[in-house]
Structure 1
Amino acid sequence: MIELGVNIDHVATVRQARRTYEPDPAIAAALAEQGGADGITFHLREDRRHIQDRDVDVLMQTVTVKTNLELACEEQVLAIACRVKPDWALLVPESREEVTTEGGLDVASDSGRIAAAIERLKSHGILTSLFIDPDVRQVAAAAELGVDAVELHTGPYALAKRADVATELSRLEVAGQHASQAGMRLHAGHGLNYVNVRPVAKLPGVIELNIGHAIVSRAVMVGMKEAVSEMRRILDLCSP
């Protein structure tokens, strides 16, 4: 069965639009669990545009499925991760100007910052993953750092049109095969929705998909529990 990680960042985005107390990401996480989520993902950005420090603490106290904290290789958020000890830490690139994450980490060209962050997280018993583009060179570099998983960036696939869809899907498949052969868990995410998720879910070796914006958008119409249940049913149909 493919594991479904539900990213609740954009529940906090709605709350922060008014700088108020609702909707509460912790309540959204509980409803996502009821809908069949295998994990809850949340991104503590340096600029705190959505998830806040308090959210992290509350989520770590209340989520009963696995927790996946997205973060940049930045001292303050690394210190928070090491304090709260999520099950997984997903290292991602981060730019204050971007609307959402625009690409994967350039692990192959890293000067040691990523390696140091991985070592620090692992020393606190946290499983580590890297958000990377579906590129064999990046997969090989991630494997050399000894991470537990890679999450392939599916954004270009999600935005592709016509013939480019097959090209991007092929890139994901090739990179995924290399990740699995290197002994890493294969995760994927970014821009996946109720329609385009099916081909990605059927790729060989995919263990986990992390989906946020589409589920939160659907939840506005049908509620979080039902929105997650609908995605859960799609993934179950795609499982081998």
Structure 2
Amino acid sequence: MPQLAINVDHISTIRQARGGAEPDPVHAAGICELAGAKGIVVHLREDRRHIQDRDVRLLRQTVKTRLNLEMANVKEIVAIALDLKPDMITLVPEKRKELTTEGGLDVISNEKKLRKTISKMSSAGISVSLFIDPDAEQIQASLEVGATYVELHTGRYCDAENEKERDQEFHLIEQAAELAFEKGLRVNAGHGLDYRTTTRIAAIPFIEELSIGHAVIARAAFVGLDQAVREMQDCIDRAGRI
């Protein structure tokens, strides 16, 4: 079964709404780990709309499992990652006005810049994942620029308007996961996964980790963060019984 990594960005979203110190994403990460999460994910955006520099520095000191820093391939954030040395980074596309990441990274069009950043990260001992759509050409390009992982974008599968469309998107992810694995890439997946859509993706045998955030934080508002993480882990565990 894939491992569960929790994105705690939206704990910070709540904090930033009032500009205070609570709730603290560093505290939230500890709760997630105690509840069974095997990794913590944060996205340090250029506009600092939620996660702040202080957060990633404290998380680097306190996370006991694996810290995955999502980031755009821009000079400032690259420098921060090289200084902090998270366990891994995930390079994602980033637009100032988007509510959340809208699609996968175009590796083909950004090959030169990505190759340069991946080389720097590899020299620093930091694993690199590329957040991509489930597309064969993007998978091949990810291999060629030197990525260790790809994270397959599950957003269109989660947002499908009917079962036929969802089945089509699922099979694209399933095929992409197998292709990436066969090419020697390690495979993660995420974006938009919730308590209804996770189990089927978790049953794909080539996926090592699922990155899930918004659904867990939203559920935590009703049942608490510890219980919300445990319920999501149950969704993954059910995949083993399919």
**Match of residue 114 from structure 1:** 114
| Structure 2 residue 74 is matched with structure 1 residue 71 | no
| Structure 2 residue 193 is matched with structure 1 residue 199 | no
- Report if the CA contact (8 A) 1:2-1:236 is conserved: no
The letter for the 2-side match of 1:130 is L
- Report if the CA contact (8 A) 1:10-1:216 is conserved: yes
CA distance in 1: counterparts of 2:68 and 2:9, whole angstroms: 12
| Structure 2 residue 224 is matched with structure 1 residue 223 | yes
CA distance in 2: counterparts of 1:80 and 1:214, whole angstroms: 28
Q: CA deviation at 1:237?
A: 2.1
**Match of residue 30 from structure 1:** 30
Unaligned 5+ residue runs, structure 2?
none
Distance 1:61 1:203, change over 3 A: same
Q: CA deviation at 1:204?
A: 2.8
The letter for the 1-side match of 2:183 is A
TM-score by length of 1: 0.98
- Report if the CA contact (8 A) 1:15-1:22 is conserved: yes
SS state of the match for residue 237, structure 2? Answer: helix
| Structure 2 residue 155 is matched with structure 1 residue 174 | no
- Report if the CA contact (8 A) 2:111-2:141 is conserved: no
**Match of residue 134 from structure 1:** 134
Q: Aligned residues: percent identity?
A: 48
- Report if the CA contact (8 A) 2:154-2:190 is conserved: yes
Tell me the number of residue pairs that the alignment of Structure 1 and Structure 2 aligns: 240
CA distance in 2: counterparts of 1:65 and 1:76, whole angstroms: 26
Unaligned 5+ residue runs, structure 1?
none
Map 1:177-192; keep pairs closer than 5 Å: 177-192=178-193
Runs of 4+ in structure 1 displaced over 6 angstroms? none
SS state of the match for residue 235, structure 2? Answer: helix
What is the aligned-residue RMSD (CA, Å)? 1.0
CA distance in 1: counterparts of 2:60 and 2:224, whole angstroms: 23
The letter for the 1-side match of 2:153 is H
Residue-by-residue CA offset, 1:148-183 (whole Å, 9 max, x unaligned): 110000001110022100110011011111100011
